[in-house]
Each structure stands twice: as structure tokens, then as C-alpha cells.
Amino acid sequence: MIAPDGRTPFVQTLVGVSIPRLYAYHRALRQALAAGTSTITSRELAALLGQTIASTQIRKDLCALGTLGRRGQGYQVAPLVDQLSWVLGLQRDWRIAIVGFGFLGHAFATFIAARESRFHIVAIFDNSPKVIGQSWQGITVSDMASATQIIPNVGCEIGVIAVPAEAAQDCADLLAMMRIRALLNFAPVLLHLHSPASAPPVIVRNIDLAGELSILTHRLSAASLNSEEA
């Protein structure tokens, strides 16, 4: 793997840089590029991000990726987007298997297919007879049990778990056995993954909808208490 500019990328050496922040830059800069902006300063980018990130922080982050800015001018947007794509792993395509094709799995598939051209849904599984056999954008929903045949064929790197909590662990085990390398888990359970010793560990990221809600309720409660005191 060689970065677009020929330097060896040093993705793993980025200290002090948060990936969500880089993704925010990436999204904002893609929009700016689409709108015809060719050059941008760190302060302008901070404005695009609603001043949620200081311009100094932006410069620190971008500097850590390699020097791309021109002093006195700012940054070239196009190469910056490329560089960020590279670091975020978005310079290549990825194949995704969705497990659980209820409303959530369906929503995820539709959202990703519509917006992210580098992510491809290549397999869909469910265990409900009502859903199995249905077709979504040319992909037939298969029984979970047939994952052992299908996944080696289509070869996907990422699994999305959108099943009820009770079924999530079994799905995760099965996907790990199929050498899936990363999981996005919507089920509100802690997954225990004992990947085979030969394979690298499975990367898991959890999205907990109830947890997100409770962050809101915490802050609402705190806000009420503050206003009562005032």
C-alpha cells in the first residue's frame, strides 16, 4: 500500500488525533469541494464545522497527516480530501454483510447504499421465514445458517449486527468464524469475541441507541437543575 503522494502512510502512528474528528473534516471538505472551493484555511474549516473544533486543533491534526498547507494561503481542498480518505481507510472499497434485516438492517442498508459509494452490501441474512428469500437491490436475503457458504464466496470484511439482543452473540460468533474482520453492533449487549489465534482480533464498534438517548436525558436533567437554582 502506497499513499497517493508516494510517501509511506503512517496511519497507525497518528497520536493525539481522533478519528471522529478526521471524519468530520472529511465530510465538510467533501462538501466544500463539491461547492467549488479549492483552497481553505483552518479558520474557514472551523466555521464549516460550526466552531465545534478550534482552528489550532485542526492545524495540529492536519499537520500530523503530513504537511499539506501553504503558509499565508491555507490548504488545497482536493489533496486534503484524498489524504483524509487514505487515513480513514476510504481510499478503497469495502464489502459489508448485514445480519438481521428488520427495519434497522433495512435502514442501514438503504442509507449506506444511497450515500457511500465505497461501501457495498454484498450479503444479507435473517432467520425469519418472512424475510428470507426477499430481494433487496438484487441481493437475496438468506438464512443465517447459509452464511458459512455465502460469506467465503462474497468475501466481506465488515459485518453489521442488527438483530435482537438475544441473538447477537451467536451472530457475532458465526461472523468471527467466517473471518469477518470488523463488526458494527447495534444490539445492546457486550459481545465477547474469541477469534481464532491465527487471525487478527475482530474490531468491534457498538452503537447503543438507548445509551444515546440517556445521554440526552442526563443533560436535560442537569439543565433543569441548573435553571431551578438560577
151, 123 in Cβ contact below 8 A?
Answer: yes
Name which of 41 and 206 has its Cβ closer to its own copies. Answer: 206
Binding-site partner at residue 42 among its own copies, DNA, none, CB < 5 to 8 Å by type: DNA
Distance CA 118, CA 160 (A): 16
226 binds, among DNA, its own copies, none (CB under 5 to 8 A by kind): its own copies
| Polymer length in residues for the chain | 230
Starting at the earlier edge strand, list the strands of the sheet with 182-185.
135-136, 139-143, 119-126, 94-99, 158-161, 182-185, 203-206
Smallest separation (angstroms) from DNA to the CB of 36? 18
- Residues numbered 175 to 194 that lie near its own copies (CB under 8 A) are 181-184, 188, 190, 192
Interface residues with DNA (CB under 7 A)?
A: 15-16, 18, 21, 41-43, 53-57, 59-60, 62-63, 67-75
The distance of closest approach from Cβ of residue 140 to DNA in the complex, given in angstroms and rounded to an integer, is 43
Under rule CB under 8 A, residue 50 binds its own copies = yes
> Least separation, in Å, of the C-beta of 185 and DNA?
21
Asked if residue 46 binds its own copies (CB under 8 A), the reply is no
Count CA within 13 A, CB hemisphere, residue 102. Answer: 10
The minimum distance between CB 41 and its own copies, in angstroms, equals 18
Q: How far apart are CA 147 and CA 197, in angstroms?
A: 21
Site residues, its own copies (CB under 8 A): 1, 9, 11-12, 19-20, 22-24, 26-28, 49-50, 52, 87-90, 94, 102-104, 106-108, 110-112, 115-116, 119, 157-158, 181-184, 188, 190, 192, 200, 203, 205, 207-228
